[in-house]
Structure 1
Amino acid sequence: MEQRPKITVVGSINMDLVTITSQVPKRGETLFGEHFQMNPGGKGANQAVAAARLGAHVQLIGCVGNDRFGKDILEHLQEQGVDVSNVEPVTDVTATATIIVSDQDNSIIVVPGANNYVTASFVESKRDVFADSDILIVQLETPLEGIRKAVQIAKENGVKVILNPAPIQELPSDLIKDIDYLTPNEHEQTLLRQGRSAEELNGKLIVTKGSQGVCIYEQDQEVEIPAYKIAVVDTTGAGDSFNGGLAYALSKGFSLKDACKYGNAVAALSTTKLGAQTGMPTGEEVELFIKSRG
């Protein structure tokens, strides 16, 4: 039997509270909304679910609150095949993202809650989890000190590292040096490049461009990997789906170019259904989709 890829994700775990409305209320105004839903989210949890649904053994390292949201999220992640034995309830408040979606604009308020507890000491306490991993995925929705510790432990164990630099912030050069793959979107890569030499990012940079696919920057060359054309229902979580797919494919021994093609397929399929985690495809669905596209 073929061994399943082993992927470790250190990152954020949220409950997304989504309100659909025709317009955002003005200051002091009360309006009726059209629809409300609660969805498990957070970039860490999203990427963990994406990789798990493809068939990887995924261990998620993070924190939730000892509240109803935390319990519901853990139950949901287990149903999606994510190993949550290293997710701990550490406080009373699970992270939330309150999202208002209107015809004109979207707005989001994030309360980090338990995500603030993914510190260097917390990650250090999970050191043994990294030892037999193929790839580590990290993002920037938890404290940078914890991310740096996760990357350090990964490198000590010979584990490849994918950093999805979102939301973008200033990153130290010594951290960038230890990252194998950086996966910003176009806006994030512009900020990421500021004050950095091309050499510092050479061979690491994979820029996601939505409907335009991705671009690999390697040896002063740009390699375009086009997106799959598909009828889009909801793009929420497409970037996280790409990262999960990229990690899975690299763990399976794909070349970087082929891994990006695979990630594009995962991202494309994720846009055909509503929601981030609920729209993520299985490995079988991705294989059938790729075959159907030649």
Structure 2
Amino acid sequence: MPEITKEMFRRIEVDKSEAEVIARPSINFWQDAWRRLKMNNLAMFGLGLIIFLVVMALFGPYLVPYTYDFQVLEDQNQGISAAHWFGTDDLGRDIFVRIWNGGRVSLLIGLMAALSDLIIGVIYGGLSGYRGGKIDQLMMRIVDVLYALPYLLVVILMMVVMETRGIITIIMALAATGWVGMARLVRGQILQLKEMEFVLAARTLGASTKRLLFKHLIPNSMGPIIVNMTLTVPSAIFAEAFLSFIGLGVQAPLASWGTMVNEGVAVMLSGYWWRLFFPAVMISLTMFAFNVFGDGLRDALDPKLRK
């Protein structure tokens, strides 16, 4: 057996100047969430699809020399062609421009419904969770009653009662009971956070209820709130499509994807398949994009999955 000597070993010197070198730059919670979101290919595909749909809804109608209500009766029910990329309807109106003009209506209704849910639900749920006690019990019983009512039934009743039917009316009907889910979510988050040390410290320093809610509690609940908003948009779009499908949506000549599906179903068996195909595809793509993006955002904002 060979003899082991000192010459067989080499001292590894440590450079003390590198001891304080940071291995990677410091990032905050939102930067880390964005980094993890970018690693989710399906979620990024959904985000790209949402951006594409929004851009086309804004600028798509200007790509063709027609307006959504321009009629040429000689061109009625024409198929896909160089002149009409998505064909025409029974009044000779270009479906391409009506698809993207209807996309403006559907996306606007979805975004405004989600925004109203955010404002009403966050304030109501935040106050209920922070106050607690009998006030919380009373406020939550009101929410339970509204939550027990069929959502679409309430919306349909409100649409029937209201004399005028348009975008504002639909948004008001969707916002009437749509906020209850957000309120319950925010209340649960506030009940967890209000017992933590940083809230106790802020209360000890004399912070008001308004400051505690809007500077400490609600900002720390933004992760679940944002995720819930992304999932509210496709639900509102689908609800609007359903209302339009049964004749309670926007009125002619204005179109939405729901009204176009309603018109397409009536002539589908007559061979005019494109009148149903394109609006149905747009609704499906929008719901798919928001759902996969919302799922990816939920994973990215979950602190338990942070590495």
The verdict on a shared fold, with TM-score over 0.5 as the criterion, is no
Give the number of the structure with larger relative contact order, counting CA–CA contacts within 8 Å between residues 6 or more apart.
Answer: 2
TM class, shorter-chain normalised? under 0.3
More strand by share: 1
Whose Rg is larger? 2
